[in-house]
Amino acid sequence: MAAPLPEVVVFDVVGTLFDLAPVESALAAQGAPPDTLEAWFERLLHSAAALTLAGEFAPFAEIARSTLATTSARVGVEVDADAVLASFRELPLQPGAREAVGTLAAAGIEVAALTNSGADQARSLLERSGVLGSFAEVLSVEAVRRYKPDPSPYRHALERLGVCAERSAFVAAHAWDVVGAANVGMTAIWVSAHERIWPLPRRAGVEVADLRAAAERVLAGPPGA
């Protein structure tokens, strides 16, 4: 007998479902060097993880603003933080995102989102892109006040969705996020289009090229089935 398909697929939001190109353009328009976005996000995620390890919490938007100031100072450019942060409201769906979500929903698989940013921001992006109606839940780390890849956000998502880890899958474009989901027992799928080469010493999850392939991987059944 074939192994059952996941009941729920949870997607990361920023960088996985949504493309950060408008943020990169906003930085470039203010004279920031080409690698500023990458440097900023590395510092942002490092700072969020550091707060979690220290037992503290601050909203994602606040960390984004403070780390943008640090990053822009390091690259020697003064940026309008309000303008850069406003560009997050304009993020477009990644190629294949709409099709992947639709394919899973058509197969009777529940779809949800779990983000390190705010739930309202994520919900607004999904609504603006016309796919919010396909999502059973839009969840944020704000509920547990600990950032991914700490286990708490993933476990909170499973609890809210009423599903065990073994009957769920998680899709992300970030290796650290894939490791976090895999460590709580979810079937983890890494979309490698951005990072390209797995950056961590230990592999986790299944690699696919894009979001369409992620949906196909889910419908193919658990790895090794």
Q: pLDDT tens digit string along 117-159?
A: 999 999 999 999 999 999 999 999 999 999 999 999 999 999 9
For position 221, what pLDDT does the model report? 81
* Residue 56 predicted with pLDDT over 50: yes
% of the chain beyond a pLDDT of 90: 96
For position 166, what pLDDT does the model report? 95
98 and 194 within one domain = yes
C-alpha triplet 61, 65, 70: angle, nearest 5°: 145
- Confidence class for position 224, pLDDT limits 50, 70, 90: low
Cβ-proximal residues to 42 (8 Å cutoff; 6+ apart), any chain: none
13 and 119 within one domain = yes
Range 166-172 average pLDDT: 97
- Distance CA(120)–CA(146), nearest Å, equals 17
Q: Count up the domains in the chain and report the number.
A: 2
13 and 28 within one domain = no
For position 78, what pLDDT does the model report? 92
> Beta partners for 188?
170
For position 119, what pLDDT does the model report? 96
Cβ-proximal residues to 126 (8 Å cutoff; 6+ apart), any chain: 13, 17, 113, 132, 135, 138
Cβ-proximal residues to 149 (8 Å cutoff; 6+ apart), any chain: 49, 176, 177, 179, 180, 181, 183
Please check whether residue 104 is in contact with residue 9, taking contact to mean a CB–CB distance below 8 angstroms: yes
Range 162-177 average pLDDT: 97
123 and 191 within one domain = yes
Domain of residue 78, residue span: 21-89
Domain presence at residue 1: no
98 and 193 within one domain = yes
CATH number assigned to the domain comprising residue 38? 1.10.150.240
114 and 214 within one domain = yes
* Residue 1 predicted with pLDDT over 50: no
95 and 63 within one domain = no
* Residue 177 predicted with pLDDT over 70: yes
169 and 61 within one domain = no
CATH number assigned to the domain comprising residue 103? 3.40.50.1000
* Residue 43 predicted with pLDDT over 80: yes
76 and 121 within one domain = no
- Distance CA(80)–CA(154), nearest Å, equals 34
215 and 143 within one domain = yes
207 and 104 within one domain = yes
Q: What is the DSSP letter of 107?
A: T
- Confidence class for position 87, pLDDT limits 50, 70, 90: very high
Domain presence at residue 3: no
Output 60-68 pairs: Cβ under 8 A, ≥24 positions apart. Answer: 60/116, 60/117, 60/118, 60/141, 61/85, 61/117, 61/118, 61/121, 67/40, 67/43, 68/40, 68/44
